[in-house]
Amino acid sequence: MFIAIDDLNDWVSCLGGHPQAVTPQMDRLARRGVLFTNAHCQAPICQPSRTSLLTGTYPFSNGVYDVEQNMRDAPRVKDAVTIPQYFRKHGYQVLGAGKIHHRRAEETGSWDEFGPRFGWGWMGQRIGPKGVSGLPEPSIFDFGPVPFAVEEMNDMRVTDWAVARLREKPNATSSGEAEPFFLAVGLVTPHLPLFTPSEIYHRFPVDSIDLPEVLPGDLDDLPPMGRKFTRYFDSTPMSHHNITRHGLWHKAVASYLACATFTDHCVGRLLDALDNSPHADNTVILLWSDHGFHIGEKMHWEKRSLWEESTRVPLIIVVPGTSKAGARCSRPVGLIDIYPTLVELCKLPEKGGLEGRSLVPLLQDPDREWSYPALTTQMPGNHSVRTERWRYIRYANGDEELYDHRADPNEFHNLAGDPEHAAVMKQLATHLPETEVPSGPRLPRQKYTQEFDWTKP
């Protein structure tokens, strides 16, 4: 069971990203397997992150860097066999619903059966252009309670479909054995807009909300490119200045916490259905999010950065008979490692061309030595290297940042200009890609994306 969540950062109780996070079902899942506490996406935006995960290739290898691309338009992955396609090729019944690929059209050809997939537009249409946040002309950048029942929410309908499939008797193969299945469930919340039913939103009273920890003058030690990354949303309602001047930061935080709790409820229903099915004792469960999400940290909102809030993601793997229950692994891993991990766990033929590494050794021994960093790319030339201790960033123009997570988990203090750390930076830089393929064809700029030059300040 392959549970994909959109835009969920580390605001999950067991990850400790926010002290008021309430996610008992994901905590329950973590107690059954291995929680990877230092897991990172390979791109901090939906399309390239999902393309990387589903094809097992890095953005700088496959040419899919941006949300305004179609995966199959990039020559390097035009004919790539994705995870569900590989399972289908090797005898699995492959079922999916919700958002797995970035675009609905990209689901074609991957599934034996594909259930409902919904966007967020219907809620906005029913609410109207004024939204619920209090921001003037919020558009997609909206957040707060909506007058819908939990059962009406898109992710609940996707979850209901998956629950019904888990309750069905498994198909039999020609030999009479149960046909193995791959079930992917894509939950969109907490993708913008940050809407939840009122009954969930009001569990987080705005006047009791803790804001993310910030440091006055935090941007002062950033190089020009680092400061520029914080300005992507300056011309939109979702800029730090706009949200704070309208006094809505606490409401935005409450809305995100409520979204995480709502998604957690969906996860709980999936776990209950699996536990009450014939598949309870022989099914691998893998839960992941495609990237993180800023809610004001470094005066930045949403994603598209190379800092911890954008790159760190929940990753939980439960393997009956293999994973150690309740284990935590602090080794740096990436979503790119999911493909080879599933191939090994399910004893499929080895798949050539995968650029990640199987996490099975860490499932067996979460404390074993692991010398591989996690790499993240935000458009060509901009990369982050995350080890257990360090984050090193190099931008397309050569600007650099360095953070010591042992002393500075919030990444407040950029050490890149300190000669004392020159050797560390030099060593971390050896992990940067030596070559990068050009971007695949771009689509026209979408309504909710901005004109932005990612190559120079």
C-beta atoms surrounding 22 within 10 Å: 17
Single out the catalytic residue among 41, 46, 259, 329.
46
Give the 3-state DSSP-derived string for 44-88, with helices as H, strands as E and coil as C: CCHHHHHHHHHHCCCHHHHCCCCCCCCHHHCHHHCCCCCHHHHHH
Q: Quick check: is 329 catalytic?
A: no
Single out the catalytic residue among 40, 101, 102, 265.
102
Q: Quick check: is 102 catalytic?
A: yes
- The residues near 245 (Cβ < 8 Å, ≥ 6 apart) are none
288 and 7 Cβ atoms separated by less than 8 Å: no
Instruction: Give the span between the Cα atoms of 90 and 323, in whole angstroms.
Output: 24
Residues with a known catalytic role: 46, 102
